[in-house]
Structure 1
Amino acid sequence: MSIRPGPRNRITDVDGILVGNAEDHRVRTGVTVIYPEERCPAFADVRGGAPGTWNIQAMDPASLRNEVDAIVLSGGSMYGLEAGCGVVATLGTRGRGIAFGGAVVPVVPGAILFDLMNGGDKQWGEAPPYRALGRAALEAVGQDFALGNAGAGLGARANALKGGLGSASTVTADGLQVGAIVAVNSFGSVVMPGTDRFWAGPLEMGDEFGGLGPPPADWRGEAEMPLPPNYPLSPMANTTIAVVACNAALSKGELQRVAIMAQDGLARAIRPIHTPFDGDSVFAMATGRVPLTNPAMLARIGHLAADTLARAVARGVYHAEGLGDRPGWNSLQKI
């Protein structure tokens, strides 16, 4: 095959990328840190109608610098912003960041999702757990990490199903590495109505999320937007947040194009997407190990990023176990 999953089928198959998770099961929330071993450029593309992000302007092509030290994905809605503070504080003690004389300033953007209505104990008063979770996730970074009810995906819900943390990778015969990680907390559905088949099924490699493929030829599913009974239409109550990475050497503007193209991966895996109730955000980062030789190579990276992200979405829900009022994918009637 000219393309295949990497050995872990995770974003850490991109050389130089590490990931760490931390969870609080009592609160039903968590944090995921994506950590480049060397500071690298990044960009964020936001498409949802109710986003929650921080420090993304630092990555804008018009900004002076856009190299990042880590990217943080967190539950907790606005409370989850403190996860980034915990990561910044720890990196600062390590001397990681931009040096200004005797000071060091880590650059840590990130995004949050809403998991405040999943039944966990949110009575934390003035001490939300996210700063500590951010530090713990950073301490846990490595090449292997859990999927499903892990990290920022612990408290996530995907329409009528339990959401989760997903990741996937694609490597090519000529040395490109592309990976994705996503916390799926979507208003839209990741499965075709009335079935256990993923919208991303045509993109599946092997049996990475069940090996079911497309629905049977006689499937007559409804095209209408699928919602569970009495679904709460609450602003900011969802959001799917993701990071894609590659090993190419990309400029700020080139990473912007990859992030834009990668958003199509969400559209291939979740329907509907980018709604008024979601804050869908995709970060793109590049570790610079392989030179970019021509514009067609950039288009190829963006295309691979989109398909890899779609697969990661399905893997996140496939590996998630039921929690609270959201059953896991395994509870669906198989067809």
Structure 2
Amino acid sequence: LADRPGVPPSPVVPAAILFDLANGGDKAWGEDPPYRELGRRACAGAGPDFDLGTAGAGYGAAAGGLKGGTGSASLLSADGAVGALVCVNSWGSVTAPDGRTFWAAPFEIDGEFGGLPLDGLRAGPGQWGPSKAPPPAGARQNTTIACVATDVALTPAQARRLAVMAQDGLARAIRPVHAPFDGDVVFALSTARRPLVGGDAALARLGALAADTLARAVARGVFEATAWPDAPPGEGPPAWRDRR
């Protein structure tokens, strides 16, 4: 908001969560829940390197019938850099009915999520792969939350368009997606380190690349995920890498 003497700034911060309060454990926090301190630790630990898979906000996630997780991917182009960060907790499946081939396989770069041939990338009507069972009516227990970023300076309207186009990356990597059981969202941001050169045509190319990059990030999050280390045998969704 506008800077006024003596008036503290009031930041408007968009936010989204992966709900995991029903995952067991002692939740008797009283009047001092741990989230404030967890948020401070997350900010203090932010940096260019971070773990993928069963880590961070994706630790307790499940992607369809597989272990979900935190994924990331990036791409450099003549128009600018694009990066994506996602936590995959989807109702739909990230793999074809064979249970191994990622829907995002056509966009894979350098075998980043297994390098499997595209032979298994096929499905008939209603064949979605290992998705979750439908939850109770009205329940939204599934969420895929993503952020796409670029180093190109964007106006608020252009950033919104980048997010709109990047949202298609979820449709390329998860099937079905945006179901009544999902609460998916994609945020967009810019470091504004370089100008947008080429107007709407360049923005369109960046949006298309953002969608491809987000699809790759979804697959990487599941590819890198491992089973919960403290889960009893047979409990929790299986990890992709454990299915043969």
TM-score grouping bracket, smaller chain normalisation: 0.7 to 0.9
Deviation (angstroms), 1:221: 6.5
Secondary structure (helix, strand or coil) at the match of 2:147 reads: strand
Query: Aligned pair 1:160/2:65, yes or no?
Result: yes
CA RMSD of aligned residues (A): 2.2
Deviation (angstroms), 1:228: 5.8
Query: Aligned pair 1:192/2:96, yes or no?
Result: yes
Deviation (angstroms), 1:125: 4.4
Name structure 2 gaps, 5 residues minimum: none
Contact 1:113 1:279 in 2 (8 A): no
Query: Aligned pair 1:330/2:241, yes or no?
Result: yes
AA at the equivalent of 2:213? T
- Moved segments of 4+, more than 6 Å: 219-222
Aligned pair count reads 234
AA at the equivalent of 1:187? W
Name structure 1 gaps, 5 residues minimum: 1-64, 66-97
Question: Structure 2: how far apart are the matches of 1:195 and 1:228?
Answer: 10
Deviation track 1:271-329 (CA, whole Å, cap 9, x = no partner) reads 11111111100000111112112210000110010000000000111111112411111
Range that drifts further, 202-211 or 115-124: 115-124
Identity %: 55
- TM-score (structure 2 length as normaliser): 0.87
Q: How does 1:12-27 map to 2 (within 5 A)?
A: none
Contact 1:194 1:221 in 2 (8 A): no
Query: Aligned pair 1:149/2:51, yes or no?
Result: no
Aligned residue for 1:41?
A: none
Query: Aligned pair 1:279/2:186, yes or no?
Result: no
Query: Aligned pair 1:233/2:135, yes or no?
Result: yes
Range that drifts further, 316-325 or 197-206: 316-325
Q: How does 1:200-279 map to 2 (within 5 A)?
A: 200-216=104-120, 223-227=126-130, 231-234=133-136, 235-279=139-183
AA at the equivalent of 2:208? H
Secondary structure (helix, strand or coil) at the match of 2:208 reads: helix
Question: Structure 1: how far apart are the matches of 2:93 and 2:33?
Answer: 30
Q: How does 1:21-40 map to 2 (within 5 A)?
A: none
- TM-score (structure 1 length as normaliser): 0.65
Query: Aligned pair 1:299/2:204, yes or no?
Result: yes
CA distance change for structure 1 residues 165 and 197 in 2, over 3 Å: closer, same or farther?
Answer: same
Please state which structure has a larger fraction of its residues in strand.
1
CA distance change for structure 1 residues 106 and 113 in 2, over 3 Å: closer, same or farther?
Answer: same
Aligned residue for 1:11?
A: none
